[in-house]
Each structure stands twice: as structure tokens, then as C-alpha cells.
Amino acid sequence: MLWSTALVAAQSGTTFSRSPTISTIAVHPTPTGSGGVIPEGFVSFSIELSSFPDFAGNSSVGPNLFSYNLLNNIGNLTGTKPYIRVGGNTQDLALYDASLGVAENGIVDPERSEDYPTTLTIGPSFFESYDSWPGVKFIHGFNLGKNGTDGRESLLATVPLACKALSDGKLLYWELGNEPDLFKTSAKQGIVRPTNWTEHDYVQEYLNGTRAIRAELAKACPDLATDDKYKFIAPSFAGTSNSLDPIKTWQEGFDEDKNIALISSHNYIDGATEPGVTLQGTLMSHTSTVNSISKQLNVSRLLSNYSLPFILGETNSLYNQGASGLSDSFGAALWGIDFNLWCASVGIKRVHMHQGTNYRYASWQPVDTDKATKGTKAPYYGNIGVAAALGDLTAAPVRVDNLPLPEAREAAYATYGNDALQRVTVVNLREYNATQDGGASERPETEYWFGVPTACNGTGVVQRVMASGSDALTGASFNGLTYGFERDQGRPVLLGNATKDEIVWVGQDGVFGVSVPWSSAAIVQLKC
């Protein structure tokens, strides 16, 4: 499955009849793309506020070590544990009750959402969850949606609890409001603003809110109210074309107080219940990813004069918490690798993949419920694949270039550290359905040939992201490792029937080939 030009020449009679071949792709010795240096914490998560106690645990039930192990796995590859944004739709539904004896009390209204409570009260112990994961930094989301007396009092009452829970280096940033561009249009989230609510109205409300939060911080946690530490991600809009224009929002003086650290936008490729959504056509399509992110890049360019990093503060495959058989499949894991590396290659500085208890697109299910069993899900292997493709972001400046390939069902990337080539990643997005195709024929493969600097000649290592097919919901692996809860609570365990660290030979001319089965990915670690 692995060749160099030298070996092929020595085996002149060798043919690879069942594998289409991609002509040699030239990989530049230094990065040529415009993505820039990738900051640490690029591989990060967003966790639904109502689900946070499930994911993290607290002092009453103990920390969720399974979740923590999964975060550590990524941190071991990238040099930093993922940053966690605690927010989402329930961020703007949560009211505080100082007398509540449990972390939260939620009521699910199936007509609005079966996936999260649309009536939510949180108590003091909610904030204990911030103590469960040592070494993890957090973004805490405050409620902007509830702007009546109860909402305002609740917001200010939670500031001392949040700041004390996030002291001692746990605070990354704050956030005020989740997807306010849907406040006057989304029946699902609830209409919470009048139809004549404008960008100017939003900005004034936002500034009043952030100033009030800072005043409370100055009393409860003065060290977090200083100019250098009092920072937000914003505006956290749902997209680029909803009822509030992000460009007009900034033109209205959105960052008047100079306390926005990152421009945050949300992105989903499509909707879970939208017609025509398929695994191959929607998720396992590089073109789909490029088109989706191009809208974000248009906004980023128009806001470039503010000189702030642009991130995806919440994203995943299909909005409305994903679709069974699509968002929870191995195909979605491969989409995640392509999506994240594409973002890295075009200058998006961080990607927070959204999670929630029982969510179809979640990377793991943190607890047992009547809907889902605790365990690692297929998309997590996409998170691991991205982390392995980027490598240690703290060791050297890392950049990523996209390597254009002939069609939409494939993607490739080159990763550079200190401007030297370190690895090449190939994602074969051609759909192979294990249920339908598994017993019918041998799994097809595609040969990819790359020309790299001659200094890379010798041996490299291939780490594969594999499963039985794109439709697989279980049984995924990375480099022969599984991260299942049932094995060792999410820690890596080597599978007995899998290959770890395959050897690839790079010829003296710098050319090597790697065969990638359909619906899989390969990360080639080079020694250049």
C-alpha cells in the first residue's frame, strides 16, 4: 500500500489495477498559502450550556474523567488541551436561582426542541463544573436573550459565581449572547426581540450589558476586570445572512470599549432536516466545505481593518443538533478533518466543534441517558485526525497549505513547522458504504503520489483514520488506536488487529506514494 519511485522502478512489473492513481502532486518546501500561523488551541470545543454538567461533572457527582481523557488525548498531540466555550442556545435561556439545590433544572418542550430544555434554571453548583478539568481554559457565555427584569438580575447575579469559578487561570474569555441575529426570527429558539430591532439597538444593548458585567467583576473579581483581561468573543452570529448584518453591527461601534478579543461566527454546512442532504453530497464533499467557508471569509475580509482574529466559536456538520446516520457516522469524521484543515489553510484561527448531551453530531456522549449510551462517537476520530495533522502548535509556528486535488471527493493538506514541511494529510471522501458494499466487492483505494523536498527522503510514518466504511457508527480507529469508553475510559488503546505506524519510503527524488482506501484518511509524518 506504500511505495516510492525507487521501489516502483525496481519492481517494473508491478501494477495496481484496482486503484485509480492521482498524478504526482508537488508539495512546496515552504508554505505558500495565506492562512498564516495557527494559534494554539485551534482544535477546540463548544459545549451546550445545559449539557456542561454532564460533560464536565462537578463536586457532587465527581469529575467526568471520560471527557477529560478525551480532551487530554487531543492536548497530547497539539500541546494544549482544547479550549471550551460553554454556551449555545441554552445560554440565552438560563435563569439563575440561588436557592436551587442542583446544578440545573430544565424542562423540555418537544414542540420547540427535543434535544435541550427551553425552560432552564441554573443553581450555584452549576459553576462547580469549571473545577472538573485541570488545565483547561473556558469561555463562559452570559444570557443576553432574557432582557426583562428577571433576565437582567439573573445575568448580574451569575457574574461573581462565574468569575470566582474561573479564577486561577481558567478563564479564557467571556461571551454575551448566542446568535442574537436570530433573536427576532427563530421560532425554535424563541422570538425575544421585536421585528424592528436593529443593529444599532443590538449594539447599545450589548454595550450596556458588557459594561454592567464589568462593574460586577470589579466588585467580585477585580483582577479580571482590568483592560488586558476583560475580553469577549463576539458577535457570535448564527451565520452571515440573517436578520442582523455583522458588518453594520461593527460599523455601529460594536467594539467601542475595545474589549473584543476575537471575532466569532457560527457555521453549519446545512440543516439536519433540509431536503437533499446526503453524506456524499453534503458532508463528504470538499466543494461543499469550500462554499460554506467562503461566506465566512467574505465577512472576515470586510472586518479585517479591525485587526482581530476570526474564529468559528460554534460549528459542526448539520444544524439542529445533527441527523442520525449522517452526523454521527464515520463520514462525518472525515468531513471534520477536511473542514478543520481547510479552515486552518484559509486563516480561520480556531474552530470550536459544538457538543451536547444526546446530540447526533457530538464527538462523544458524556453520560448514559434514555436516548444514548455513554461512549466515544465516530466524529471524535476526526478531531484526533485534525490534531495529528497539525501536530504540536506550541513547539514551532505551524502553517497549513491546501494541496488541490482533481475532484470534490478528496482533499489534501501540507503542514509546516518553522516553515519546513512536516506532514501531508490525504482525505479520501469517496463514499464506501460498509453495509451495502462490504460483502460485495473489495474496498477500492486511490493512489496518491507526492513530490516533496529531497531532504525528506528515507522513511516516514503513515497514521490512518479508519473504519469499516463511511456509514459506520462504531469501530473507528486512529493509527491502530481506539479511544472507546469501554476500553480504558477514552484513553488510547492499541487494537489487536490494526497496524500502527506504517512505514512509507520516500525516494531520493522526494517522491512517495500512499494508497488511501475510500472513506478514510492518511496522515504521512515526514522526516525532512
- pLDDT on residue 349: 98
- pLDDT on residue 440: 61
DSSP label at residue 279: I
- pLDDT on residue 188: 73
Query: Three-class SS of residue 339?
Result: helix
Length of the chain: 528
Domain limits, CATH 2.60.40.1180, in the chain: 25-32+399-526
Domain limits, CATH 3.20.20.80, in the chain: 37-398
- Grid coordinates representing 312 are 468559528
pLDDT digits (tens, 9 = 90+) for 160-178: 999 999 999 999 999 999 9
DSSP label at residue 281: I
pLDDT digits (tens, 9 = 90+) for 301-314: 999 999 999 999 99
Using alpha carbons, select from 291, 300, 298, 304 the residue that is nearest to residue 338: 291
| pLDDT exceeds 90 at position 395 | yes
- pLDDT on residue 41: 98
- pLDDT on residue 436: 80
Average pLDDT over residues 495-522: 95
pLDDT digits (tens, 9 = 90+) for 94-110: 999 999 999 999 999 99
Q: How confident is the model at residue 439 (pLDDT cuts 50, 70, 90)?
A: low
| pLDDT exceeds 90 at position 22 | no
Q: Name the helix (H) or strand (E) containing 246.
A: helix 246-251
Average pLDDT over residues 38-52: 98
Burial of 228 (0-12, 13-18, 19+ CB in 10 A): exposed
| pLDDT exceeds 80 at position 239 | yes
Average pLDDT over residues 228-242: 92
Average pLDDT over residues 183-192: 86
| pLDDT exceeds 50 at position 9 | no
> Above pLDDT 90, what percent of the chain?
89
- pLDDT on residue 16: 33
Residues sharing a CB contact under 8 Å with residue 273, sequence separation 6 or more, in sequence order: 320, 323
The 8 Å CB, 24+ separation contacts for 6-12 are 6/505, 6/507, 6/508, 6/509, 7/505, 7/507, 8/513
What is the spatial distance between Cα 516 and Cα 167, in angstroms, rounded to a whole number?
47
| pLDDT exceeds 90 at position 76 | yes
Q: Which residues are known to be catalytic? A: 199, 314
| pLDDT exceeds 50 at position 34 | yes
- Specify whether the backbone of 269 is left (phi greater than 0), alpha (psi in -120 to 50) or beta: alpha
What is the spatial distance between Cα 115 and Cα 93, in angstroms, rounded to a whole number?
14
Q: How confident is the model at residue 2 (pLDDT cuts 50, 70, 90)?
A: very low
pLDDT digits (tens, 9 = 90+) for 258-295: 999 999 999 999 999 999 999 999 999 999 999 999 99
- pLDDT on residue 504: 96
pLDDT digits (tens, 9 = 90+) for 456-503: 999 999 999 999 999 999 999 999 999 999 999 999 999 998 889 999
CATH 2.60.40.1180 fits 25-32+399-526, yes or no: yes
Instruction: Supply the mean pLDDT for the chain.
Output: 94
pLDDT digits (tens, 9 = 90+) for 331-387: 999 999 999 999 999 999 999 999 999 999 999 999 999 999 999 999 999 999 999
- pLDDT on residue 285: 98
What is the spatial distance between Cα 104 and Cα 357, in angstroms, rounded to a whole number?
14
Q: How confident is the model at residue 438 (pLDDT cuts 50, 70, 90)?
A: low
Using alpha carbons, select from 345, 346, 318 the residue that is nearest to residue 332: 318
> Above pLDDT 70, what percent of the chain?
95
Average pLDDT over residues 27-42: 95
Q: How confident is the model at residue 140 (pLDDT cuts 50, 70, 90)?
A: very high
Using alpha carbons, select from 252, 259, 331 the residue that is nearest to residue 289: 331
CB neighbour burial string for 55-80, b if at least 16 within 10 angstroms, e if fewer = bbbbeebebbebbbbbbbbbbebbbb
CATH 3.20.20.80 fits 37-398, yes or no: yes
Average pLDDT over residues 115-134: 96
Asked if 394 and 40 count as a contact pair (C-beta separation under 8 A), the reply is yes
- pLDDT on residue 480: 97
